[in-house]
Structure 1
């Protein structure tokens, strides 16, 4: 189980908080983000930092990233802020994935990135999946958040 792959399903707000914690500091190219209206689907391929492994040991040589797929179904619409789809090589750092309820069970899922960029998905309900796609590789460093303690949420 040394190289286990993560696979999570999110069907409510609490599930989505867990997905968000695993995706904190994931990096993604704009070209690897896609909204397909005809399928009511949003998908992304990210390189996530392996927080669950980093939490087990302080050794820097165990820091790793994994290629990970994130999918949202039942998406009714998508809005972008401070993002240009034409800037396909731009790399974004994901800070959080949050849900704002509207008329139950629908609402808005917001993917917040550094640099004031975000994607807001209007969803019928929360239906998401996070799946690791392949082997891990060594990360040069562990993401740092000045002034914040691990587990602190504002």
Structure 2
């Protein structure tokens, strides 16, 4: 019998995950919640049909170990990329402004006909990015070593 992976099993290994369906995307969405990134760290490559974000994501998978060992929380730079993207739309996003820091709240999937659909990336402050995709193909890959979170506390959302 095979068991599901647990957060405790992750250790210090860099994440490299792929999402090909809604259930997979929910895993990536939970790991990227509260990630922050400058507006300049978004790229749309129409010829390659690829949209990517360079995120500074909170290491949710490390939370049990950080609390158990009473050590500071960590972030890590990660690339969140979507392939098979047909179009990109945004609302409330000042693209190209290096001083604008965006905070990712959620990543949702809205299935369409056949394998096509919409990926909706919701940002704090009523911002959103909408990707029309031929099929769901998302990748989350850590690209740096973890570093201490600047705020030194866990992200939270007031009620």
Above 0.5 in TM-score? yes
What TM-score comes out, normalization by structure 1 length? 0.90
Partner of 1:84: 94
What TM-score comes out, normalization by structure 2 length? 0.87
* Structure 1 position 114 matched with structure 2 position 96: no
For structure 1, which segment, 79-88 or 92-101, has the greater mean C-alpha deviation from structure 2 after superposition? 79-88
* Structure 1 position 143 matched with structure 2 position 155: yes
Give the deviation of 1:2 after TM superposition: 4.2
SS at match of 2:28: helix
Verify the 8 A CA contact 1:61 1:138 in the aligned structure 2. no
Give the deviation of 1:84 after TM superposition: 2.2
Deviation per CA, 1:82-114: give whole Å up to 9, x if none. 112232331011000000111121000011000
Q: Compared with structure 1, are the counterparts of its residues 116 and 60 closer, same or farther at alpha carbon in structure 2 (3 Å cutoff)?
A: farther
SS at match of 2:94: coil
Runs of 4+ displaced beyond 3 Å: none
- CA–CA distance in structure 2, aligned partners of residues 30 and 9 of structure 1: 24
How many equivalent residue pairs?
Answer: 147
